[in-house]
Amino acid sequence: MRRAVGGLLFAALVFAAFLPAFSAENEPWIVVFYEDGCPDCAQIEELLAGLTSELPESAIVRYDISDPKSLDLLMELARAYEVDVSSVPAVFVGEEVVLGAGRAQEFELRNAIGECTVHGCPSPLARSPSLALRSSILRLAVFAVLFALLLWWQTS
């Protein structure tokens, strides 16, 4: 029995160490920044509704820039993608950024979403230093707790 519990704790410890690899699959690969009352945002949202109707809900996340935290995240992503964002809508799709609304942006968005649907894309949120730090701290805490449990179990 003691050996089984030790094996289970060790397996949990190994799983915690590789947790980042498993959690990346559920992160959104479409990140939309908008503002209520913005006509271009409504246009992009209508387009996105048609393009993402077959995708799981976890593939897309939306942030209203009237929230200061959302605005901070937009600025972080703009720096990470090396783009100048002066207005919304701003849509981050995998490695691509689509700014504004219009025919050219519609074409860019269709291509980016199509490419990500076929080949897969990383989450734009992975480029956010503050979100990456929070995620790393959480994984480290889980790992530390499991390690402490294993150590306690071995010494008791």
pLDDT classification of 138: cutoffs 50, 70, 90: low
Judged by average pLDDT, the poorest of 24-33, 67-76, 99-108 is 24-33
pLDDT at 32: 96
Cβ contact 124:77 at 8 Å = yes
Q: Which domains are delineated in the chain? A: 27-150 (3.40.30.10)
pLDDT higher than 80, residue 100? yes
User: At residue 90, what are phi and psi to the nearest 5 degrees?
Assistant: -130, 120
pLDDT of residue 58: 87
CA distance 119 to 17: 27
The pLDDT assigned to 132 comes to: 47
Quick: pLDDT tens for 23-58. Answer: 444 688 999 999 999 999 999 999 999 988 888 888
Of 30-39, 104-113, 133-142, the one with minimum mean pLDDT is 133-142
Q: Are strands 60-64 and 90-93 parallel, antiparallel or unpaired?
A: unpaired
Q: Would you give the distance in Å from CA 75 to the centre of its chain? A: 15
Structure confidence at residue 27 (pLDDT) = 82
- Burial string for 133-144 (b: 16+ CB within 10 Å, else e) reads eebeeebeebbe
Q: What mean pLDDT, rounded, does the chain reach? A: 81
Q: What is the percent of the chain with per-residue pLDDT over 90, rounded to a whole number?
A: 51
Two tokens at 73? 């995240």
Is the full-model pTM beyond 0.75? no
- Weakest-pLDDT range from 52-56, 66-70, 85-89, 95-99: 52-56
